[in-house]
Amino acid sequence: MSAATAAQPSARIASAARVRRPAVRTIYRWELRKLVSQKRTYMGFALGGILPLAFVIVQLLRNHQGHRGDSIFFSEITQSGLVTPVLMLIFLSAFMIPVIAALVAGDIVANEDGNGTLKTILTRSVDRGQVFAAKTLAAMTYAAIALYISAAVGTIAGVAAWGFHSIVTLSGSRVSASEALLLIAAGNACYLIPLFAVVSIGVLLSTATRNSAAAVVATIGIVILVYILAQIPGLEGLRPYMLTEQFQAWQGLLRTPTDWTPILHSAWVCALYAAPALFAAYLVFLRRDVAGG
Amino acid sequence: MASSNGSDPAAPVRARGLVKRYGELVAVDHVDLNVRAGDVYGFLGPNGAGKTTTLRMALGLITPSEGTVELFGRDPLRVGADALEGVAGFVEAPRFYPYLSAGKNLELLAALDGSGARTRIGEVLDTVELTDRVGDRVGGYSHGMRQRLGIAAALLRRPRLLILDEPATGLDPAGMRDMRLLIRRLAEEGITVLLSSHQLPEVQELCDRVAIVSHGRVVYEGALSDLRRQGGAGYRMHTTDDAAALELAGRQAGVAHAHQGEHAIAFQAEEPDVGELTLALAAAGIGILSLTPELATLEDLFFRLTEGQADEVLDAPASEDGHSELVRAR
What is the residue-level pLDDT of chain B in tens, covering all 330 positions? 444 444 676 899 999 999 999 999 999 999 999 999 999 999 998 888 899 999 999 999 999 999 999 999 999 988 888 999 999 999 988 999 999 999 999 999 999 998 788 899 999 999 888 999 999 999 999 988 999 999 999 999 999 999 999 988 878 888 888 888 989 988 999 999 999 988 888 888 899 999 999 889 999 898 888 877 776 668 889 999 999 999 999 999 988 888 887 788 988 888 889 999 999 999 999 999 999 887 677 777 777 777 754 444 333 333 333 333 333 333
Sheet holding B233-239, edge to edge: B255-260, B265-269, B233-239, B288-295
Contact (CB<8Å) A125/B114: yes
Which residues does chain A have with pLDDT short of 70? 1-20, 63-71, 292-293
Contact (CB<8Å) B123/A2: no
pLDDT in tens, A257-281: 999 999 999 999 999 999 999 999 9
Contact (CB<8Å) B185/A8: yes
At the top level of CATH, which class does the domain B13-86+159-228 belong to?
A: alpha beta
Q: What is the pLDDT of residue A12?
A: 38
Sheet holding B13-22, edge to edge: B25-35, B13-22, B66-70
Closest Cβ–Cβ partner in B90, B93, B115 for A20: B115
Contact present, B156 and A18 (Cβ < 8 Å) = no
List chain A domain ranges.
23-287
* CA terminus-to-terminus distance, chain B: 31
Give the 3-state secondary structure of chain B: CCCCCCCCCCCCEEEEEEEEEECCEEEEEEEEEEECCCCEEEEECCCCCCHHHHHHHHCCCCCCCEEEEEECCECHHHHHHHHHCCEEEECCCCCCCCCCEHHHHHHHHHHHHCCCHHHHHHHHHHHCCCHHHCCCEHHHCCHHHHHHHHHHHHHCCCCCEEEEECCCCCCCHHHHHHHHHHHHHHHHCCCEEEEEECCHHHHHHHCCEEEEEECCEEEEEEEHHHHHHHCCEEEEEEECCHHHHHHHHHHCCCEEEEEECCCCEEEEECHHHHHHHHHHHHHCCCCEEEEEEEECCHHHHHHHHHCCCHHHCCCCCECCCCCECCCCCC
Whether B50 and chain A come into contact, CB under 8 Å, resolves to no
Residue B313's Cβ-count burial label (10 Å; 0-12, 13-18, 19+) is buried
Q: Any idea which fold B233-295 has?
A: Alpha-Beta Plaits (3.30.70)
- Using left for φ > 0, alpha for ψ between -120 and 50, and beta otherwise, residue B127 falls in alpha
Count how many Cα atoms sit within 13 Å of the Cα of residue B65 in the half-sphere of its side chain: 14
Q: What is the pLDDT of residue A67?
A: 55
Quote ipTM for the complex. 0.84
Q: Do you find a cis peptide bond into A22, omega within 30 degrees of 0?
A: no
Residue A106's Cβ-count burial label (10 Å; 0-12, 13-18, 19+) is buried
Q: What is the pLDDT of residue B308?
A: 57
Can you give the pTM of this predicted structure? 0.83
Q: What is the pLDDT of residue B233?
A: 67
- What is the rounded CA–CA span in Å between residue B230 and residue B232? 5
A10-49 residues touching B, CB cutoff 8 A? 10-22, 26-27, 29-30, 33-34, 37-39
Contact (CB<8Å) A20/B108: no
Same fold, B13-86+159-228 and B233-295: no
Q: Are strands B87-90 and B161-165 parallel, antiparallel or unpaired?
A: parallel
Contact present, A173 and A179 (Cβ < 8 Å) = no
Contact (CB<8Å) B129/A2: yes
* Residue to substitute from B57, B82, B87, B95, interface A, most A β-carbons within 10 A: B95
Spell out a b/e string for A72-95, using b for 16 or more CB atoms within 10 Å of the CB, else e.
Answer: bbeebbbbbbbbbbbbbbbbbbee
- What is the rounded CA–CA span in Å between residue B309 and residue B301? 9
List chain B domain ranges.
13-86+159-228, 233-295
- What is the rounded CA–CA span in Å between residue B186 and residue B188? 5
